[in-house]
Amino acid sequence: MADKNTTAAAAPRRMSKRLQSNLITYAVVIGFFALMTVLEVTGILTNSLAGQLVPICAYVCMAVSLNLVVGISGELSLGHAGFMSVGAFSGFVAFSLVNGLINNALLAYVLALVIAAVIAGVAGFVIGIPVMRLRGDYLAIVTLAFGEIIKNILNNLYVGLDASGLHFSLRDAKALGMQGGTLLINGPQGATGITKMSTFAIGIVLVLVTVTVVLNLVNSRTGRAIMSVRDNRIAAESVGINVTKYRMIAFVVAAALAGAAGCFYAMGYSSIVPKKFDFNTSILVLVFVVLGGMGNVRGSIISAAVLTVLPEMLRAISDWRMLIYAVVLILVMIVSNNPTLRQLAGGLKSKFKRPVKSQDAAAEKGGEADA
């Protein structure tokens, strides 16, 4: 009886700890929005930094979604930028088509975000069918290859819109056979004439949605199954967990979130090109995840925001800024993986924790009295 009461008393504490951690994560996002808004209103925020707010939100969403695959699921994916590019171009095409039908830019933009997420999720599912049967280095190489395949397809893709609808071609613009209309995607030149719809406020909403989806998935029964596969694949299989299914769920959800981030990113510029979403972008997002902490959603948010804006803040010393950026990355990596510093941080954290021994003793005493 005492054991049951002790467990019942401990459960709310575990739930409140999880809730507290989630609330801190949301507070970080909202606090960043409030800070940037105040700086912009007071005129302290520079134009160059203000121009980085949309990319920051996009990269935060990318880092959080990739953390679902790399940190939570334990798989190394090097083609995450491919799903971002799918969302970017499909979202722009969807916006152009829907906006022409309903003549409401904001509603068309919201629908474009949803459509981009769905199409990127479908692409993730199609790619995941062969990929999720691989592990380790093989998985990393195959995802890298798929990312490059997507980029090269977009380099050769031509899309036009006229009165009769959409036209597609993998040859050239003339092969579209349009009667007037607008050329939306022009092969390697990418998409031009994009209506800038993405704002910092919409970006914060997208970040909150991404964080909510990931946190709810991680804390759900499905999330626990995904983490059990990560921790011990053989043990998970032995208790009947479908390993491929749960790895696929994490991969597809991450792809869908990356697609929405890609659409948001594309709609913040007047033009985009496929080469923007290459291997280097995938590595950059992976750096955000690693430096923020594998499986740490809040860490991914902070690292993506800081490392996105850092090169811009160092622009005044243009000759040295990339060197300083590289040194900062190395120092952060060394510090985050130093056992002594980790132990010191753990000691400081424990000093600020509320003691729970008295509560445990009271729970045990109450259990003995009931017995």
* Separation between Cα atoms, residue 145 and residue 251, nearest integer Å: 16
**Residue 14 forms part of a structural domain:** no
Strand partners, 192: 271
Determine the straight-line distance between the first and last CA of the chain, rounded to whole angstroms: 6
CB 336 within 8 A of CB 291: yes
**Residue 307 forms part of a structural domain:** yes
Task: Give tens-digit pLDDT for 104-118.
Answer: 899 999 999 999 999
Mean pLDDT value across residues 127-145: 84
Q: What does pLDDT average to over the chain?
A: 83
Task: Give tens-digit pLDDT for 261-288.
Answer: 999 999 999 889 998 888 888 888 988 8
Strand partners, 161: 166, 182
**Residue 3 forms part of a structural domain:** no
**Residue 255 forms part of a structural domain:** yes
Answering whether pTM is above 0.85, one says no
Q: Is residue 7 pLDDT above 80, yes or no?
A: no
More confident residue, 200 or 8: 200
Q: How many other C-beta atoms are found inside a 10 Å radius of the C-beta of residue 50?
A: 13
Task: Report the relative pairing of strands 271-272 and 191-192 from DSSP bridges.
Answer: antiparallel
Q: Is residue 361 pLDDT above 50, yes or no?
A: no
**Residue 314 forms part of a structural domain:** yes
Tokens 């009271």 -> residue? 362
User: Which residues form the domain of 228?
Assistant: 46-337
Provide the domain count of the chain. 1
**Residue 365 forms part of a structural domain:** no
CB 89 within 8 A of CB 266: yes
**Residue 326 forms part of a structural domain:** yes
147-156, 252-261, 288-297: which has the highest mean pLDDT? 252-261
Sheet hosting strand 158-162, strand order edge to edge = 165-169, 158-162, 182-186, 191-192, 271-272
**Residue 39 forms part of a structural domain:** no
CB 108 within 8 A of CB 95: yes
For residue 237, which amino acid is it? E
